[in-house]
């Protein structure tokens, strides 16, 4: 299943907690219903992004690990 996204945030070269902070900043600017694709290479950021989604009114549409790294599709 392919999920369309509106914006990509590539934080593969950022150390924790910067990917989570940047994810929150971008989500705050998106209109409701838009989907953000977040790509990170650091396993330490995975739980931080999961927690961000769980503690806010976002929906985690998909989480996977592929050749890009750890990929999250988050709907605002």
Q: What CATH number does the domain containing 52 carry?
A: 3.30.110.40
Q: Is 71 left (phi over 0), alpha (psi -120 to 50) or beta?
A: beta
Q: Is 2 within the bounds of a domain?
A: no
Average pLDDT over the chain, rounded to an integer: 95
**Torsion over CA: 42, 14, 20, 69 (sign):** negative
1 falls in which pLDDT band (50, 70, 90)? low
pLDDT at res. 2? 82
Q: Is 15 within the bounds of a domain?
A: yes
- Domain with 35, as residue range(s), is 7-75
Q: Is 52 within the bounds of a domain?
A: yes
Domains: count for the chain: 1
| pTM for this prediction | 0.94
Report the percent of the chain where pLDDT is more than 70.
99
Q: Which tens digit of pLDDT belongs to each residue from 6-18?
A: 999 999 999 989 9
Q: Is 44 within the bounds of a domain?
A: yes
């Amino acid at each position: 299943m392919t999920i369309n996204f509106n914006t990509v945030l590539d934080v593969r070269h950022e150390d924790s907690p910067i990917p989570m902070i940047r994810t929150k900043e971008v989500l705050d600017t998106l209109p409701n219903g838009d989907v953000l694709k977040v790509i990170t290479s650091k396993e330490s950021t995975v739980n931080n992004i999961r927690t961000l989604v769980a503690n806010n009114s976002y929906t985690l549409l998909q989480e996977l690990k592929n050749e890009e790294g750890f990929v999250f599709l988050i709907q605002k």
